[in-house]
A and B are shown apart, each in its own frame.
Chain A
Amino acid sequence: MNEKQKKLSGGWLFLALVAALYIASSFFSGGLVRNSLAQFAELIKRIAPVLLFVFALIYCFNLFVNPKVISKYLGSRKGISGWLVSISGGIISMGAIYMWYPLLTDLREKGMNDAFITTFLYNRAVKIQLLPFLMHYFGLTFTIVVTAYMIIFSVINGILVDKLMDL
């Protein structure tokens, strides 16, 4: 079984396990399963347009991006532009984190290193559109300090994970 088939099987096995959890729970609490499914439906409804957008983006990447471009912008371990692209890409990216895994897997195959992948994923937690919520609860100073620390630590996380992966 090749790597792609393993990934495929792993994904369906994971879904089967979650489905089994729902089926088992339905014997004890039908209400829990109904409410969970309602939450699930709500999530799908909210995320579906973003999911479509992400896969359209993946298609564009598959069409236009080649290893040379990736190595130029993201593949270089020393390139400042790679860090900036990873940080800004993570901040402006939309949707749930796991929707980006296929794209990042693809980019890794094309030369993106783990430091930039980690920095990108970390900056997905910095959401410009959600900052008013953070300001509402914690104030402007807190929001600025937290955001600045998150961007700085995204780079530290990237470097650390990349080094640890090489051990």
Chain B
Amino acid sequence: MHLSTKNLKQAGQRTWRNFITAIPIIIGVFLLIGFIDTLVPKEFYARAFSGIPIVDALVGALIGSISAGHPITSYIIGGELLNQGVSMVAVVAFILCWVTVGVIQLPAESSMLGKKYAILRNGVAFISAIAMAVLIVLTLGIL
């Protein structure tokens, strides 16, 4: 491919437009994550589970969906919840929704990829997480 000055400049201009579009969203999401991380105490997650597996799976998925932060945080909280007797299906649903569903990022995703797409993707990922949690626990029971 021939790389002319014109091509380099055009690519630069398009990248700059991408950057200017994305940067307020990225900063906004970081600010929201910082706020929620600070506001929601880690103990909140343990108090929210009932002991009924299917209800806990739904609660786990809901909390995971509205949570934001590094995946490591979800692994750590999930591990602690398991130690406190929360069912495996709830913990798996919680971790899967934490890493695949992003309610906090929904405005950013809607803005960039379209509202319909963002809602569908997150909705399908939410339902998948519950189905996967059940399948994973069943698979682990067989192995």
Interface residues of A (CB under 8 A from B): 4, 7-8, 10-12, 14-15, 17-19, 21-22, 25, 32, 35-40, 42-44, 47, 51, 55, 58-59, 62-64, 96-99, 101-106, 108, 114, 117-118, 121-122, 125, 127, 130, 133-134, 136-138, 141-142, 145-146, 149-150, 153, 156-157, 160-161, 164-165
Given contacts A36-B38, A39-B34, contact A11 B21 (CB under 8 A): yes
What 1/0 mask marks residues of chain B from 6 to 21 whose CB sits below 8 Å from any chain A CB? Answer: 0110111011011111
Within 8 A of A (CB), among B55-92: 71-72, 75-76, 78-79, 82, 92
Inter-chain CA distance A63–B12, complex, in Å, is: 8
Q: Given A14-B24, A32-B39, A150-B96, 13 more contacts at CB 8 Å? A: A11-B21, A11-B23, A11-B108, A12-B24, A15-B25, A36-B35, A63-B3, A98-B26, A105-B112, A105-B113, A117-B117, A130-B75, A145-B136
Residue B52 lies at the interface, judged by CB distance under 8 Å to chain A = no
> A43-B30, A47-B30 are contacts. A14–B108 as well, Cβ < 8 Å?
yes
Q: A18-B32, A114-B117 are in contact. Are A103 and B11 (CB under 8 A)?
A: no
Report 20 cross-chain contacts, Cβ distance below 8 Å, ordered by A residue: A7-B111, A10-B107, A14-B24, A18-B35, A21-B35, A40-B30, A51-B26, A99-B22, A101-B25, A102-B22, A102-B112, A106-B18, A117-B113, A125-B99, A138-B79, A138-B82, A145-B139, A153-B132, A164-B120, A165-B117
| B18-A99 in contact (CB<8A) | no
What are the 9 closest A-B residue pairs judged by CB atoms, nearest first?
A137-B79, A39-B34, A101-B112, A40-B34, A125-B99, A62-B11, A15-B24, A63-B11, A102-B18
Is there an interface contact between B30 and A108, defined as CB atoms closer than 8 Å?
no
With both beta carbons as reference points, the residue of chain B lying nearest to A141 in the complex is identified as B143
- Known contacts: A59-B15, A160-B124. The answer to whether A14 contacts B111 by CB under 8 A is yes
Q: Establish whether residues A14 and B113, one from each chain, have CB atoms under 8 Å apart when the complex forms.
A: no
Question: Measured between C-beta atoms, what is the minimum distance from B112 to chain A in Å?
Answer: 4
CB-CB nearest in chain A for B111: A10
Inside 8 A of A15's CB, which chain B residues have their CB?
Answer: 24-25, 27-28, 31
Least CB distance, A135 to chain B, in whole angstroms: 10
Does B103 have its Cβ within 8 Å of any Cβ on chain A? Answer: no
Closest residue on chain A to residue B116 by CB atoms: A165
**Using Cβ atoms and an 8 Å threshold, which residues of chain B touch A32?**
35, 38-39
Give the residue name and chain of the B residue nearest to A104 (CB). Answer: B113
> Are the C-beta atoms of A141 and B140 separated by less than 8 Å?
yes
B25 close to A153 (CB less than 8 A): no
CB-defined contacts of A19 to chain B, threshold 8 Å? 31
CA distance A106 to B12 in the complex (A): 14
Q: Which residues of chain A are near B24, meaning CB under 8 Å?
A: 11-12, 14-15
Interchain CB contact under 8 A, B18 and A164: no
Nearest A residue to B98, CB-CB: A125
List, in ascending order, chain A residues with CB within 8 A of B107's CB.
10, 14
